[in-house]
Structure 1
């Protein structure tokens, strides 16, 4: 039975250069010139074959920052043996390489949401995210992507026109997207009416460094006690310092996939399904996500749009980076 072991690169390691040497160990398999070649697959369909147990791959010709590595054995017809269920030995090494089939560098995903009226804005956001923003992939969601059981269970909320259902779709889709990514990957949410004007790499770098894996953005001039519903402040045990602090922007947020960020989003989703908290009836607007950031001790970074370029914001918030988004 053939067995494959990947010796290098180690799982989850970052690859800084454009070239990487992949070292593999093949046991119980005869490697020849025409059959049994090892192959490396990256995130594209490109294939590199070699008859040695060491293969050099040039990453720059694939996609900057991406290197999903998987090793296969090929038969004389160039079929992938570990992906061929009719080949008896496939089970013997399929599991051995499965855990290596992950991003060696964090995958950077942008998600957003829009109803029919925002489709043009979503297209612009997605296009600039890839061409300027430095993200690897985008997911532009709409009402059709919401689970019907979830919307039915929260029909009172989704029947509200404001925020296309009081923005409940936001934590739902972020939660869903986080669980499609690997540990250490990066997810950014941005509103549909934003456009990238420079790379978001500085924000992703912050997310990688932050202990909680969450990057939230503050607004020094907008105080919680003026805008935030009292029930939200009470539910999250908001202190006086919190009440008089600047709000957090709901326009964008960045996550590194880890246990703390997933738990944060889970709590956000739970709070968002409480109609008495999420509605703006009787006592002001809902700002549960923003106050939750403070409850968790998430630092406030400067808003990365033209509105974060004034002296007050620059002097009162973390973040030395250029304007990244243009807001309409």
Structure 2
């Protein structure tokens, strides 16, 4: 089974998500297409009871994107092993053929996770607070001098290893200091600019687990984001 998942907060982002879904429906390649909204999260007592206050107090990313790992985790728990889940941010559009998506479905069977990299030289040490780096025991040049991986487009083959990675992503995201903009207690590396929230956690975990394709989904599918004038 092949599932497309996206999320949009009420208003502009929900409209963008609807646009994305309509584009995907034209390809006729997904068995199920899921658009989740704020109301879906509020109707989920497991999620909302835990994160309501944090989300309401932190408008950026609707709670620094704490919901993203949760909705992916929840879908993987429902799917069978070897099913494929594609998560896309609501603002993404694409210029790829049906055949290109089919090629990715085959690649993910081998590589387990396909995503994308930052378009500029955005190294991990520049975009991760040190507290997260130390928590994951990743204070090594082999990790920190590599480009950060983006969390806006993720294709996942559902299996034990990928579920474990996503579970850890959500667990760390739920420890809000690792996802929000509070200053690092441990001194950041010289050159640090900003913590990239859920993406910082996700990127480091894919490197710690060593699960990630060399194929860049943004380039492969020619993905664009509505807020940018160039590929994301």
TM class by shorter chain equals 0.7 to 0.9
Contact 2:114 2:217 in 1 (8 A): no
Q: In the alignment, what sits opposite 1:264?
A: 165
Contact 1:110 1:188 in 2 (8 A): yes
Contact 1:191 1:251 in 2 (8 A): yes
1-side partners of 2:122 and 2:105: how far apart? 25
Q: In the alignment, what sits opposite 2:103?
A: 202
Looking at CA atoms only, which structure, 1 or 2, has the larger radius of gyration? 1
Q: In the alignment, what sits opposite 1:223?
A: 123
Contact 1:218 1:249 in 2 (8 A): yes
Matches within 5 A, 1:78-227: 107-117=1-11, 118-132=13-27, 134-146=29-41, 147-159=44-56, 160-198=58-96, 199=98, 200-210=101-111, 213-219=112-118, 221-227=121-127
1-side partners of 2:77 and 2:142: how far apart? 34
1-side partners of 2:18 and 2:153: how far apart? 17
2-side partners of 1:303 and 1:215: how far apart? 7
SS of the residue 1:111 aligns to? strand
Contact 1:129 1:196 in 2 (8 A): no
* Count of residue correspondences: 205
The one of 134, 141, 152 equivalent to 1:234 is: 134
SS of the residue 1:195 aligns to? strand
SS of the residue 2:121 aligns to? strand
The one of 249, 259, 263 equivalent to 2:150 is: 249
User: How far 1:133 moved relative to its partner?
Assistant: 7.1
SS of the residue 1:249 aligns to? strand
User: How far 1:224 moved relative to its partner?
Assistant: 0.8
| Segments ≥4 residues shifted beyond 4 Å | none
2-side partners of 1:191 and 1:217: how far apart? 13
2-side partners of 1:301 and 1:187: how far apart? 18
Contact 1:157 1:166 in 2 (8 A): no
CA displacement, residues 105-146 of structure 1 (integer Å, 9 cap, x when unaligned): xx1101011111212211111111121373232100011112
2-side partners of 1:194 and 1:182: how far apart? 27
| Unpaired stretches in structure 2, ≥5 consecutive residues | 185-193, 227-232
Moved more, 218-227 or 258-267: 218-227
User: How far 1:249 moved relative to its partner?
Assistant: 0.6
User: How far 1:278 moved relative to its partner?
Assistant: 0.9
User: How far 1:156 moved relative to its partner?
Assistant: 4.2
Contact 1:133 1:201 in 2 (8 A): no
Measured at CA, do residues 301 and 134 of structure 1 come closer, stay the same or move farther in structure 2, by a change above 3 Å?
farther
SS of the residue 1:293 aligns to? helix
Please give the TM-score of this superposition, normalised by the length of structure 2. Answer: 0.82
The one of 259, 273, 277 equivalent to 2:174 is: 273
